[in-house]
């Protein structure tokens, strides 16, 4: 099965994606991670991406589609992908659809974690990200420990933009820009909204029950 996970900043979609990956043997597809990986290994495309970002410009859909195609076309990833925060535009929705058809795959379900602004504000101040494995933790709700995080503590970082004012602005922007995408998947009868205000374990229990009944 291939899944898409949507949710505004602070919704916990990264945490839920990791839970799904660990329990259902799926591969996470995050455009941010793909872009950083290309830059890190300094491929020709990676150098182009780095130059674009350093110039303060947005990476084009063509570049993103190239990276996504590389993942979808790999036989090891056949029908075992979870797209985290992608697609971000209707254009990317259509591009993803074409790529999936080209490689004889489809989206099984689209999750949207709905969470109130007040909850987002509380969550974001405790968020830390591992710069090595890119896993996301919350020092209050889901703290990193020896069992769930194998990297050294020195890799744990707090994003500069993780503050209440910035996150609430990003929340409003996300909701506005994502509406047309969610409407599209709702029309396709693929969208399932999950109450993201609940505790992490409660949210995942519901998601897990849904995924266990998907047979494709």
107 belongs to a structural domain:
yes
CATH label of the domain that carries residue 13: 3.40.50.300
| pLDDT on residue 114 | 92
Dihedral angle over CA of 103, 31, 215, 187, nearest 10: -90
| pLDDT on residue 59 | 84
Q: For the chain, what is the mean pLDDT?
A: 88
128 belongs to a structural domain:
no
65 belongs to a structural domain:
yes
121 belongs to a structural domain:
no
168 versus 35: the higher-pLDDT residue is 35
Q: For the chain, where are the alpha helices, taking DSSP H only?
A: 13-24, 31-41, 44-54, 61-72, 90-102, 117-124, 164-187, 200-211
> Three-class SS of residue 148?
coil
| pLDDT on residue 205 | 94
Domain count along the chain: 1
Decide if pLDDT at 215 tops 70. Answer: no
| pLDDT on residue 216 | 63
Give the domain range for residue 194: 3-114+177-211
| pLDDT on residue 119 | 81
Classify residue 125 by burial, with Cβ atoms within 10 Å: 0-12, 13-18, 19+.
middle
The DSSP bridge partners found for residue 84 are 5
Lowest pLDDT segment from 22-36, 154-168, 201-215: 154-168
50 belongs to a structural domain:
yes
Q: What is the Cα–Cα distance from 174 to 215, expressed in whole angstroms?
A: 31
Q: What is the Cα–Cα distance from 174 to 56, expressed in whole angstroms?
A: 20
Decide if pLDDT at 65 tops 80. Answer: yes
166 belongs to a structural domain:
no
14 versus 99: the higher-pLDDT residue is 99
> Residue range 27-56: average pLDDT?
86
> Three-class SS of residue 159?
coil
> Residue range 77-104: average pLDDT?
93
- The Cβ of residue 103 has, within 10 Å, a number of other Cβ atoms equal to 15
| pLDDT on residue 162 | 62
215 versus 61: the higher-pLDDT residue is 61
Which residue in 174, 170, 145 sits closest to 160, CA to CA?
A: 170
- pLDDT tens-digit readout, 153-206: 999 997 766 666 777 788 888 888 899 999 999 999 999 999 999 888 899 999
DSSP structural state of residue 104: T
DSSP structural state of residue 143: -
41 belongs to a structural domain:
yes
143 belongs to a structural domain:
no
Q: Is the dihedral angle over the CA atoms 157, 161, 162, 163 positive or is it negative?
A: positive
169 versus 114: the higher-pLDDT residue is 114
| pLDDT on residue 52 | 86
34 confidence band (pLDDT: 50, 70, 90): confident
């Amino acid at each position: 099965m291939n899944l898409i996970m949507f949710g505004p900043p602070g919704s916990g979609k990264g945490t839920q994606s990791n839970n799904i990956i660990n329990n259902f043997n799926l591969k996470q597809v995050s455009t941010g991670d793909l872009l950083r990986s290309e830059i890190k290994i300094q491929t020709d495309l990676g150098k182009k991406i780095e130059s674009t970002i350093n110039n303060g410009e947005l990476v084009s859909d063509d570049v993103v589609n190239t990276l996504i195609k590389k993942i979808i076309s790999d036989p090891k990833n056949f029908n075992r992908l979870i797209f985290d925060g992608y697609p971000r535009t209707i254009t990317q929705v259509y591009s993803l659809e074409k790529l999936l058809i080209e490689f004889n795959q489809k989206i099984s379900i689209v999750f949207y974690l709905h969470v109130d602004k007040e909850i987002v504000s509380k969550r974001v101040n405790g968020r830390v990200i591992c710069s090595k494995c890119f896993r996301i933790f919350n020092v209050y709700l889901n703290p990193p420990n020896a069992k769930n995080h194998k990297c050294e503590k020195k890799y744990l970082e707090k994003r500069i933009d993780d503050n209440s004012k910035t996150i609430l602005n990003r929340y409003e922007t996300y909701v506005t820009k994502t509406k047309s995408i969610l409407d599209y998947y709702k029309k396709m009868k693929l969208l399932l909204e999950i109450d993201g205000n609940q505790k992490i374990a409660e949210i995942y229990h519901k998601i897990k029950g849904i995924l266990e009944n998907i047979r494709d």
